[in-house]
Chains A and B, each alone.
Chain A
Amino acid sequence: MAALPVENHGSPVMELLNISKSFGATHALQDVSLTLRPGEIHSLLGENGAGKSTLIKIMTGVHQPDRGAIHLDGAPVQMASSADAQRKGVAAIYQEPLLFPDLDVAENIFIGHQDRGPFTRWSTMYEEAAQILASIGVQIDVRAPARGLTLAEQQSIEIAKAISLKVRVLIMDEPTASLSAYESERLFQLMQDLRGRGVSIVFISHRMDEVFRLSDTVTVFRDGRHISSRPRADVTPQSAIAEMVGREMGLLAPRATTAAEGVVLSVDRLGRDGVFEDVSFEIRKGEILGFAGLVGAGRTDVGLALFGIAPAHHGRATLDGRPHAPRSPRQAIDGGIAYVSEDRRQLGLSLPMSSSANISLPVLDRFKGMLGMLSRRKEAEVADEFRRRLHIKTASVEAPVGRMSGGNQQKVLLAKWLNTAPRLLILDEPTRGIDIGAKAEVHQFISELAAQGMAIMLISSDLPEVLSLSDRIVVMREGKQMATLDRKDATEQVVMAHATGQGDQAA
């Protein structure tokens, strides 16, 4: 693979000029311009709905701009489709990699190539694929089907694909959202490697630390408008956040602990074959127990075991002193457990249905009226109350949840589970993918719940979040409980050390 020439200060490789794009009444982008230089990592910042994804979809030809122009190497171009953009050297990697699970790794890399003749030359293809993967330091069997690969492996394949296409502009939309710290680290190395080869990278992430570590240039969007583009040296996280939200905003402040007497949940040497083992902890009334770890550490699985989705094989748990071994979510809910899933769209909410229908779902039997039929009035009343309590912005609780913004959806999801009046609330990544404003509200609300005496199990990959909200923190790694830290002992460094298996050195 021939390295492309490195030119860091050349003329712009790609320019977007006065781009506007509307979806019906929504002005997703208004008069936005952006300049991309060869070999730079250019980060886009902005709250949810600021228009970042729309912009990159225009760059890759998925959407056509209503107004404005795209220039490549100074000449105006049309991006007719994503395939067209790829041919012109512009490719994107999305948060969820788009692979073909039934095709093998090598095919996944090469299937989009238009210039390889009418025949598939299998052996050549396997060789080349292996070479490319080796060149980016990834070890994956090129003959294995893509089904069953980890997210990180899948992203590596996407990158290999981009390299094989000799792209000049690579766009990454929230690539780290589902990656572990270790995997993110690998990805950052790769990005720097690509930058070294002269590839321009557009990087979108809601994680400030990543953005400030990697970027050459930082661009901020707000409400579909371009606010600023500056070299990284001229920006601070605080100033960027201020520009994003249009107001000054403090970072997270630690909450006051409210833990009281009375153990709600006690877990003793819980395990599930091949997933996690020997997990023990207690949660008291009014306590928030944080669960930190890298993705795939098994935190979700502990939650799912307690919620009855994938029951534990070993160990025992007691809830309010009674044995707790649910075989189904139904049993867990009846026992007083609520689980707010990390995957809002697939597992959390029924998007085409109304908020009131979603909120009543786990405890439908409570909404029976005459003749055991469902009482819609009761449903609406309850939903309306939650709407007020959680400041859910929606015209009506009868409107489909799918039309709401991410933050409001997350609040509906919370409402759905609070409606079960649980003894123990399991929150799995409660703020993933929602913007800073909504996030602060959710944090506030979690604190309030704890203050009212609810026991909370908080699973989060957002370290500042876990550190500031939790009373104690369990750190997991590869299905094992590495440490249980008191709030005062927990720092980012210590937690990460345990999460990456370096706990002994750190201690």
Chain B
Amino acid sequence: MSPHYISGSNIINLFQLSIEKIVVALIMALLIINGEIDLSVASVMGFAACLLAYLTSQGVGMPLAITAALLGGLAAGCINGFFVAYVGLPSLVVTLAGLIGFRGLARVLLEDRAIGGFPQWFTDLGQKAFLGPLPFALIVFVVVLLVAVAILHLSTFGRKIYVIGNGVDVARYSGVAVARVKFSLFLMSGFIAALAGVLYAARLGSVRGDLAQGFELEIITMVLLGGVSIFGGSGSLLGVFLAILLVLNLRNGMGLANLTGNSQSIVIGVLLILSAAVPFLVSKVRSRVA
């Protein structure tokens, strides 16, 4: 093991490098437990960041641009949520459309440009420590984690998420406002994705149309790896949090051992398949033994 592995700054680095993904993963967990999926998160991240960059390039002030970017994320979530919750289309397809469409809007906004030159305080927010040694995004992550835990595991809303994930009809017949729950989750997902996009823009210091492209797969992988059932109704944030730690450490460990991105993705891909296969194999072995 590399001696650099356990240093405090490395642990912060380890979060910092994937912080945007793991913030979004928390909300994705809620959505998947609810029996839906949001494939469009990475595109919404890109869209929000591009909106921010576009507005600043047009001379709009940073606070206003950030607000607009977050509102843009809410709007994206609103569109996804409307078609899933109120029109009743499958979220896989709606958010696939979103994945392609919002990325398209991001491209329309920035075209071929890369826009940077953000104010110092904004890039510092993404790049410098904010509270003690902790960067701002890490604090955001902790806050989102706590809020998500409170929502999913402690609140009545969280109970509704599970019930809907286990069967929409039972929830409906029990007086649960199914559409409203789904719609709010998509709103949350859109908002958090936009927030993550803004954070990413701050960390990178400039924005291109392809910002965060392809992140959705890693985000979903972390959630599924955390034991959340792709069919909805089961899973916990503890599992997701552990999976996040596992993925971050694996990536970091492999990175420090100079294994590059693609070996890492092989390992994570295999891990994902194994984590889904193990419960089945165990039950099979158990029935053999019995």
On A, residues with C-beta under 8 Å from B are 24, 307, 309, 328-330, 332-334, 339, 341, 346-353, 357, 361-362, 364-365, 367-368, 372-374, 416
Smallest CB separation, A503 vs chain B (Å): 33
Q: Is the CB of A348 within 8 A of B170?
A: yes
B147-176 CB contacts (< 8 Å) to partner A: 150, 154-156, 158-160, 162-163, 166-167, 169-176
Q: Is the CB of A374 within 8 A of B156?
A: yes
Q: Is the CB of B160 within 8 A of A364?
A: yes
Q: Is B290 an interface residue (CB 8 A)?
A: yes
Q: Using A24-B290, A346-B167, A373-B154 as known contacts, say yes or no to A339 and B159 having CB atoms under 8 A apart.
A: no
Q: What's the Cα separation between A204 and B159 when bound, in Å? A: 39
Q: Is the CB of B156 within 8 A of A362?
A: no
Q: Is B238 an interface residue (CB 8 A)?
A: no
Chain A contact surface mostly: helix
Q: What's the Cα separation between A374 and B166 when bound, in Å? A: 19
Residues of B within 8 A of A339 (CB): 173
Residues of A within 8 A of B114 (CB): none
Q: Is the CB of B156 within 8 A of A365?
A: yes
Q: Which 6 A-B pairs have the closest CB atoms?
A: A364-B156, A329-B175, A373-B154, A330-B175, A333-B175, A361-B174
Residues of A within 8 A of B163 (CB): 350, 353, 357, 361
Residues of A within 8 A of B175 (CB): 328-330, 332-334, 361-362
Please tell me which one of the listed residues A357, A362, A372 contacts residue B155 in the complex, with CB atoms under 8 A apart.
A372
Q: Is the CB of B169 within 8 A of A364?
A: no
Q: Is B60 an interface residue (CB 8 A)?
A: no
Q: Is the CB of A346 within 8 A of B169?
A: yes
Identity of the chain A residue whose Cβ is nearest the Cβ of B150 in the assembled complex: A373
Q: Is the CB of B156 within 8 A of A367?
A: yes
Residues of B within 8 A of A367 (CB): 156
Q: Is the CB of A350 within 8 A of B173?
A: no
Q: What's the Cα separation between A287 and B176 when bound, in Å? A: 29
Smallest CB separation, A451 vs chain B (Å): 27
Residues of B within 8 A of A416 (CB): 174
Q: Is the CB of B166 within 8 A of A348?
A: no
Q: How many residues of B contact A (CB 8 A)?
A: 23
Q: Using A346-B167, A350-B163, A364-B160 as known contacts, say yes or no to A330 and B150 having CB atoms under 8 A apart.
A: no
Please tell me which one of the listed residues A309, A332, A353 contacts residue B166 in the complex, with CB atoms under 8 A apart.
A353
Residues of B within 8 A of A374 (CB): 154-156, 158-159
B186-242 CB contacts (< 8 Å) to partner A: 233-234
Q: Is the CB of B169 within 8 A of A361?
A: no
Residues of A within 8 A of B172 (CB): 309, 329
Q: What's the Cα separation between A416 and B158 when bound, in Å? A: 19
Q: What's the Cα separation between A307 and B173 when bound, in Å? A: 9
For this complex, 9 residue pairs linking A to B, each with C-beta atoms less than 8 Å apart, are A307-B173, A329-B175, A333-B175, A346-B167, A348-B170, A348-B173, A350-B163, A374-B156, A374-B158
Q: What's the Cα separation between A17 and B176 when bound, in Å? A: 51
Q: Is B177 an interface residue (CB 8 A)?
A: yes
Residues of A within 8 A of B290 (CB): 24
Please tell me which one of the listed residues A332, A350, A357 contacts residue B167 in the complex, with CB atoms under 8 A apart.
A350
Q: What's the Cα separation between A309 and B173 when bound, in Å? A: 7
Q: Is the CB of A352 within 8 A of B159?
A: no
Q: What's the Cα separation between A307 and B176 when bound, in Å? A: 13
Residues of B within 8 A of A24 (CB): 290
Q: Is the CB of B173 within 8 A of A347?
A: yes
Q: What's the Cα separation between A341 and B174 when bound, in Å? A: 10
B51-73 CB contacts (< 8 Å) to partner A: none
Q: Is the CB of A361 within 8 A of B158?
A: no
Residues of A within 8 A of B156 (CB): 364-365, 367-368, 372, 374
Identity of the chain A residue whose Cβ is nearest the Cβ of B290 in the assembled complex: A24
Identity of the chain B residue whose Cβ is nearest the Cβ of A304 in the assembled complex: B173
Q: What's the Cα separation between A309 and B171 when bound, in Å? A: 12
Q: Is the CB of B170 within 8 A of A352?
A: no
- Contact flags B106-120 to A (C-beta < 8 A → 1, else 0): 000000000000000
Smallest CB separation, B219 vs chain A (Å): 25
Smallest CB separation, A201 vs chain B (Å): 34
Q: Is the CB of A353 within 8 A of B154?
A: no
Q: What's the Cα separation between A350 and B232 when bound, in Å? A: 13
Please tell me which one of the listed residues A309, A341, A346, A361 contacts residue B176 in the complex, with CB atoms under 8 A apart.
A361
Smallest CB separation, A483 vs chain B (Å): 29
Identity of the chain A residue whose Cβ is nearest the Cβ of B167 in the assembled complex: A350
Please tell me which one of the listed residues B150, B158, B162, B169 contacts residue A353 in the complex, with CB atoms under 8 A apart.
B162
Q: Is the CB of A330 within 8 A of B158?
A: no
Q: Is the CB of A352 within 8 A of B234?
A: yes
Q: What's the Cα separation between A76 and B150 when bound, in Å? A: 61
Q: What's the Cα separation between A249 and B167 when bound, in Å? A: 38
Q: What's the Cα separation between A332 and B171 when bound, in Å? A: 14
Q: What's the Cα separation between A244 and B111 when bound, in Å? A: 77
Q: What's the Cα separation between A361 and B162 when bound, in Å? A: 11
Q: What's the Cα separation between A494 and B94 when bound, in Å? A: 54
Given A24-B290, A352-B234, 14 new contacts (CB under 8 A): A309-B173, A330-B175, A332-B175, A341-B173, A346-B170, A350-B166, A350-B167, A350-B171, A361-B176, A364-B160, A367-B156, A368-B156, A374-B154, A374-B155
